[in-house]
Structure 1
Amino acid sequence: MLNAIEHCFELSRQARGLQGAALDRKLSELDAALTLARLAMKPADMPAVIDPGATFELDLTGYVTAWSAGAEALFGYAAGEVIGQHVLCLYAEDDDGGDIAELFFSHTPGDPTARTEVRRRHKSGGILRVCLDIALRHDAGGDPLGMLVRVAEAGPALSAQDQIKLHARIIEDSEQGVLITDAHERIVSINSSFTRITGYTPAELIGQTPDLLRSGVNDAEFHAKVRAAMQGGGPWRGEIIGRRKNGELFPQSVTISAVRDQSGRISHTFSLFSDISVHKDAEARMQRMANYDPLTGLPNLCLLTTLVGQALTETKRSGDHGALMVVEITRIGAISDTLGHDIGNGLLCQIGRIFRQVLREGDVLARLDGHRFAVALLQVEKREHAGIVAEKLLAALAAPILVAAHSLQVGAHIGITVYNEDGADVPTLIRYADVAAAKAAQSIESNFLFYSEEMNQRAKEHLRIESELRQALQQHELQLYYQPKVSLRSGRIVGAEALLRWRHPVRGMVSPGVFIPVAEETGLIHNLGAWVLEEACRQISAWRDANLITPPVAINLSARQFDSELPKRIALVLDKHQVQPDQINLEITESLLVRGTDKVIAIMNELVAMGMALALDDFGTGYSSLAYLKKFPISTLKIDRSFVIGLPYEENDCAIARAIVTMAQQLRQEIVAEGVETPEQMSFLRELGCDQLQGYLFSQPVPAAEFAAMLREGKRLAFATH
Structure 2
Amino acid sequence: MRFHSLESRVVVLFISLLLTLQLVAYFAIGNAIDTNARSAIESELKISTKVFSRLLDQNAQKLIQGATLLSKDYAFREAIGTHDTETIVSTLLNHGQRLGADLTMLVDLDGKITAASSDTLAHGLQQSVSSMIKTATEKGSAGNIDIVDGKPYQMVMVPVLAPVTISWVVMAIPLDQTLVSDMRELSKMQISLLTSQNRSPWKMNVSTLEQQEALQLASALPKDEAGPRLMRDMEIGDNHYRTNVLPLASNGNNSAVAVLQLSIDQAVAPYKKLQRNLLILTVLGCIVASIISAVTARRVIEPVRQLADTARRLGTGDYLTPIKVERTDEIGDLANSFSHMRDAIASREQEIRRLAYWDTLTILPNRALFREMLDEAITLAKSRLSTCYVLMMDLDRFKHVNDVMGHSFGDILLQEVAHRLKVELGAGNIQPARLGGDEFAVLLPETTEEVALQIAEKILHALEHPISIEDQTVDIGASIGIAGFPSHAADAATLLSRVEVAMYAAKQAKNGAVIYAPDIDKSSQQSLSLLSEMRTALERNDFRLYVQPKVSLTNGEVVAVEALVRWLHPERNFIYPDQFIPFAEQTGFIRQLTHWMMNASAQACREWKNAGIHLKISVNISTRDLMDQELPEKFANILSLHQVQAADFCLEITESAIMDDPVRAHLTLDKLHAMGMELSIDDFGTGYSSLAYLKRLPVNELKIDKSFVLKMEQDIDDTKIVKSTIDLGHNMGLRVVAEGIENAKVMNLLKELGCDQGQGYHISRPMPASELQPWLLTWSQHQTI
**TM-score bin, normalised by smaller chain:** 0.3 to 0.5
Structure number with the higher helix fraction is 2
Structure showing greater Rg = 2
Normalising to structure 2: TM-score of the pair? Answer: 0.40
Normalising to structure 1: TM-score of the pair? Answer: 0.43
